[in-house]
Amino acid sequence: MFRLDHFVVHIDDDFEMLRSLKDQIEPLGFPFDPERGKGTKGFKVANIWIGDQYLELPCIKTRDGGGWRKEWVEKYNQGKRGIFGLCLMTDQLDYFRNEVIARGIPASAPERITYKMFFGLFKKSLPFRLVFTPQIPGTDLQIFFLEMDSQEKLDFMKKYFMKPNSRDYGITGIHEAIVKSHFTTDAWEYIEKLFPNLIGNQTRATLDMGETKLTFEQSQHADLRVELRASTKENLKKGSFMIENVEVVVQ
């Protein structure tokens, strides 16, 4: 029903930092073109494609964010950086939303990302719908859910937009995301209500989605950290890199 899709990691508006990141990660097998990606006068996004998953790296350029998600713009304007959003793809978005609401969790109405382009002359809507749930108590992290309009639209995106992609260098995708924090009792209750099929306990619990996994791990450190474990199809050099509070590990 689910798989890991992408991770929204907010960064400073610093192109030199992105060029430095490019120099750091390309030798590990992560090709990166920081100039690609959607944007408006209010925000700019760079993507690191890792198989079917990706890191979405937005920087906010104006106080209102130019169409970027309001809650995230507010956090950004407060000086916060790092991961604000973790997205799971599903093919049963409406069913899942109804189930979540029945369990007492607020969930947004399905929405599309639409933003203005070319000095506001045109609007572009992306070919998927999103449902957002509240942030995990005590953290800035929201888990949200995405459903593509069709398999054809997904195939088109893979063919023409998910480039440059680490898959071409033997790194096939993110197979597990591990969310680490000193979770409160309220946080664990929320996580268990959102994902009633978790396996484990309030030290470490995993949502096994088949090809990918989402794990929540109790930490002694209050600050949120996310570890993304990447799979390879070859005996590649192992390594890792950090972006804010997110670490990508090649296993």
Give residue 9's identity as a one-letter amino acid code.
V
CB 207 within 8 A of CB 195: yes
Comparison of pLDDT for 154 and 140, the residue scoring more: 140
Q: Is the pLDDT of residue 115 over 80?
A: no
221 — pLDDT class (breaks 50, 70, 90): confident
Q: What is the mean pLDDT of residues 94-120?
A: 85
Q: What is the mean pLDDT of residues 177-204?
A: 97
Specify the pLDDT at position 4.
98
Specify the pLDDT at position 120.
58
As a whole number of angstroms, the distance between CA 139 and CA 108 comes to: 19
Specify the pLDDT at position 58.
97
Q: Is the pLDDT of residue 116 over 70?
A: no
Comparison of pLDDT for 112 and 53, the residue scoring more: 53
Q: Is the pLDDT of residue 114 over 80?
A: no
Domain that holds residue 76: 2-250
Q: What is the mean pLDDT of residues 65-75?
A: 94
| Structure tokens that stand for 239 in this block | 């390594």
Coil/strand/helix, residue 169: helix
The CATH number covering residue 187 comes to 3.10.180.10
| Structure tokens that stand for 164 in this block | 């440059």
Domain count along the chain: 1
Specify the pLDDT at position 150.
84
Q: What is the mean pLDDT of residues 227-236?
A: 86
**pLDDT tens figures, 117-146:** 555 556 667 778 999 999 999 999 999 999
Taken in order 3, 53, 108, 147, the sign of the CA dihedral is negative
CB 148 within 8 A of CB 89: yes
Q: What is the mean pLDDT of residues 6-22?
A: 96
Read out DSSP for 102-145?
A: HTT---PPPB--EEEETTTTEEEE-SEEEEEEEEPTTSS-EEEE
C-alpha closest to that of 46 among 32, 60, 27, 25 = 32
Q: Is the pLDDT of residue 149 over 90?
A: no
First to last CA, the chain: 25
Q: Is the pLDDT of residue 192 over 80?
A: yes
| Structure tokens that stand for 165 in this block | 């992609």
As a whole number of angstroms, the distance between CA 150 and CA 173 comes to: 21
CB 124 within 8 A of CB 115: yes
Lowest mean per-residue pLDDT among 98-107, 187-196, 225-234: 225-234
**pLDDT tens figures, 18-39:** 999 999 999 999 999 998 888 8
As a whole number of angstroms, the distance between CA 166 and CA 175 comes to: 14
As a whole number of angstroms, the distance between CA 152 and CA 89 comes to: 15
